[in-house]
Amino acid sequence: MTLLRVGILAAATLAAGAARADSCAMDAWNNGTVVGAFLFPNWYRAPVASFDVWECDVCTPANENVRAITVVNFGSAVAADIANVYWVASCGATTTGTLTLTYAGVYAEDGGSYPAWTWSGSTIDLGACPDLCGTPPCGGVFTIDIYATIASCPGQNVTVSMGLPVNSLNNPANPGSIWDNYPCAVPWFNSAGPMHTIYWAYKDGPDVIAPGDTATYTIYYG
């Protein structure tokens, strides 16, 4: 089977549909549900990225288990700035629960070299997730959410953009960083999450007020 790069589906949203039995990841993309924000020291399991993974609806076997995943930070924060990275795969009430990735050093991929975190094992079956297109069906879709715990003393103004790298030079047939039991690997191109900035403290409130006025500020810190 030849995997087709169907770019238009990257903009599609999750469609409701009947339970299916799909397998072989076809593509993955940033689904846009997490937006860039400020992160602070000691923040625990802050949501930093979310990706949808599209499955083939005519492939066998009928079960879909994630076997390995690599996540990198495309931002400027280094491993010392991020205490831990976690991921959760889910669709509806089906969920893997929170799984911890392990820091694996610097990963060289198509766009450069970035700090990377990896996980390997075998998840629950994700092959019965709702169809991406509804009717007619085009394959199920599940979501992978990425979370990060920020270190107690991170760099100031460093950035976090967790994403899925590709390495088409070393593995042109399966360049992606999410591997399943087929085995299929996605995405086909780098897929980065939103850009977050680590601040030690941040003031939300007016910078200038008239003499005699009362100002209200909110201070965020780790």
The answer to whether residue 211 is domain-embedded is: no
**What integer pLDDT is reported at residue 89 of this predicted model?**
98
The tens digit of pLDDT for each residue in 59-92 reads 766 789 999 999 999 999 999 999 999 999 999 9
Q: Which residue is associated with the tokens 């903009």?
A: 11
Is 215 domain-assigned? no
pTM of the complete model: 0.83
What's the pLDDT tens digit per position in 162-211? 999 999 988 888 899 999 999 999 999 999 999 999 999 866 777 777 77
Q: Is residue 123 part of a domain?
A: yes
Alpha carbons 36 and 50: distance in angstroms, whole number:
12
Q: Which residue from 203, 201, 151, 156 is spatially nearest to 46, judged by alpha carbons?
A: 151
Give the confidence band of 9 by pLDDT, cuts at 50, 70, 90: very low
Confirm if 3 and 26 have CB atoms less than 8 A apart.
Answer: yes
> Tokens at residue 193, please?
């999450």
pLDDT at residue 1 tops 50: no
Does 174 fall in a domain?
yes
Q: Do 159 and 76 contact (CB within 8 A), yes or no?
A: yes
Q: Is 178 part of a structural domain of the chain? A: yes
> How many residues can be counted in the chain?
222
Range of the domain at 76: 15-197
Question: By percentage, how much of the chain surpasses pLDDT 90?
Answer: 69
The domain tally of the chain equals 1
Residue bearing the bigger pLDDT, 218 or 109 = 109
pLDDT of 19 higher than 50: no
128-137 confidence digits (pLDDT tens)? 999 999 888 8
Per the domain annotation, does 205 fall within a domain?
A: no
Residue 172 lies in a domain: yes
- Asked, for residue 24, whether it belongs to a domain, the answer is yes
- The reported pLDDT for the residue numbered 60 is 66
User: Is the model's pLDDT at 2 over the cut of 50?
Assistant: no
The DSSP letter of residue 14 is: P
